[in-house]
Structure 1
Amino acid sequence: MHYREYRPDMALAPYVECLWAARAPASHTHRVLPDNCVDILWQDGGQPGFAVGMMSGAILVASEHPVRTLAVRFKPGMAGIFLATPLHALTDQRADIDLLWGRSAADRLADALWTSDAPERSRLAVIERELLRRLQAGAQVRAGHAALVQQALRALEGSGGELRIEVLAARLGVSRQHVAAQFREHVGLSPKLYARICRFRRAAMALKDAAAPDWAQLALDCGYFDQSHLIHDFQEFAGSAPERFHFSNRPQP
């Protein structure tokens, strides 16, 4: 399977993690893990583009026929600026982009992506131009977009998911309930679940290059109370025990 990521335009860099492209062969299945990001995907074959919300567990994606995918992955807490919908409505769901952006805009973008023989990066530039247009149109919304949530996200990411939510709320000078409500709208997950996925991703990356890991030490290094908590999170988020785990990227062809 071909998969490649590209850096976004500088004006989009505060909001977009990357643009990516993939080509999946026929009869292909892969497991996609939760990564605390929201993507919008466009695929050839006449399907409408669709947004994939925050994931609370792994999913299996299968393709019966060869599929090409072009996509954008947003940084945590930033997709709402472009989708104009509370992100909890998309959690563990997908929504056709024509329902979010309107049929006319969705069809125009799909035609621009798939009716030419332009190189992969040039097609992704079409997506960037649409995002830039929407970013400029939403300048007023962008200016006041969930500053508290961005502070909370930086704190959780900086701690590798180890920061306790009550400590986070105290630092921000608000209640746990307020933090949770803001996360629900602007992130799509509770802050506690977001932190758990941070820890899981940290452990998954550590396993990527570990030939014979010390499981107890890995659990401690990644912020788990003990090895049993590490095992529980792998079963919940990857559908696999840690010793049988194989790291996977997010593409969803």
Structure 2
Amino acid sequence: MNIYQEFEPGNALQNIVDCYWVSAPTDRQVQYIRPDGCTDLIFNFGDTVSADIQQAGLSPESISAVGMMTECKKVEVSPQSRLVGIRFKTGAIGALTTLPLHKIQDINIDAGELSPTLNKATWAKIADLNSRQQLVSHLDQLLLKMNNNSDNNIDAIAAAAAACIREYAGNIPIKELVKSLNISRRQLERRFRSGIGVSMKSYTCIVRYLHTKSLI
């Protein structure tokens, strides 16, 4: 059994954060994590979480930035696993970092590479929290501070392209998308990969999968 809960962020963050979540398995198990079109920050307060994809596991006492997935990931967790996550809306984590998001496609990296704020001291503060209210409040404060201290912005063109792909459930030809945004295909492909984290083709496949899943 896996105790999994999701929490809404504060109002000021609902434009960039999909949800906060907590996962605490009660036994050893294998989980299959499927693409969801999002990027996460994951705080690991328990054992190592191993994965079948290189660079996709989670080390103990760590904060990891988890790139957008294009394939299913198999992970193994134990009763000593405890994870806290921040799930960002598509491309929204780009407001907090200068790192091109395609650099972390399908892998995890130390979140300190995204922002120096995501360090051991931050991990320790969150590890000491005892309630849902404290957790949500602290994560809100952390992200607001990071956002206020950041000079970065979400790429508006990339975000508009992603929104259009979602609006059409992935059933829009790329050439029509390019035309509607008044930009060359080459420029849009480059900005999309950097600002969203995967190619337009891959994102279209993810959106189609999610749409089909929602109909089942």
The alignment's TM-score, normalised by the length of structure 2, stands at 0.88
Residues 1:79 and 2:93 are matched in the alignment: yes
Residues 1:96 and 2:97 are matched in the alignment: no
- Pick from 124, 132, 154 the counterpart of residue 163 of structure 2: 154
CA RMSD of aligned residues (A): 1.6
Equivalent pair of 2:32/2:72 in contact (CA under 8 Å): yes
Residue 167 of structure 1 corresponds to: 176
Equivalent pair of 2:111/2:118 in contact (CA under 8 Å): no
**SS of equivalent to 1:101:** coil
Distance 2:185 2:94 in 1: 22
Equivalent pair of 1:48/1:98 in contact (CA under 8 Å): no
Amino acid at match of 2:124: D
Residue 241 of structure 1 corresponds to: none
Equivalent pair of 2:63/2:118 in contact (CA under 8 Å): no
Distance 2:30 2:6 in 1: 20
Residue 141 of structure 1 corresponds to: 152
Which has the larger Rg? 1
Distance 1:105 1:19 in 2: 16
Deviation at 1:79, TM superposition (A): 1.1
Residues 1:124 and 2:136 are matched in the alignment: yes
Distance 2:136 2:111 in 1: 16
Structure with the largest fraction of strand: 2
Deviation at 1:58, TM superposition (A): 0.3
Give unpaired runs (5+ residues) of structure 1. 208-253
Aligned length: 202
Equivalent pair of 1:70/1:124 in contact (CA under 8 Å): no
Equivalent pair of 1:4/1:20 in contact (CA under 8 Å): yes
Amino acid at match of 1:197: I
Distance 1:177 1:6 in 2: 38
Residue 240 of structure 1 corresponds to: none
Residue 8 of structure 1 corresponds to: 9
Deviation at 1:128, TM superposition (A): 1.8
Equivalent pair of 2:4/2:22 in contact (CA under 8 Å): yes
Amino acid at match of 2:30: T
Residue 120 of structure 2 corresponds to: 107
Give unpaired runs (5+ residues) of structure 2. 47-59
Q: Superposition pairs for residues 165-204 of structure 1, below 5 Å?
A: 165-204=174-213
Equivalent pair of 2:9/2:17 in contact (CA under 8 Å): yes
Q: Percent identity?
A: 24
Distance 1:163 1:126 in 2: 40
Q: Deviations over 1:5-63 (max 9, x none)?
A: 11111111111111111111231111000011000010213521101101110001111
Which of 158-167 and 62-71 deviates more?
62-71
Distance 2:190 2:115 in 1: 25
Deviation at 1:148, TM superposition (A): 0.9
Residue 225 of structure 1 corresponds to: none
Structure with the largest fraction of helix: 1
Change (3 A) 1:105 1:153: closer
Distance 1:193 1:121 in 2: 37
The alignment's TM-score, normalised by the length of structure 1, stands at 0.75
Q: Deviations over 1:139-158 (max 9, x none)?
A: x423xx31111211111110
Equivalent pair of 2:45/2:82 in contact (CA under 8 Å): yes
Equivalent pair of 2:24/2:79 in contact (CA under 8 Å): no
Residue 227 of structure 1 corresponds to: none
Change (3 A) 1:64 1:22: closer
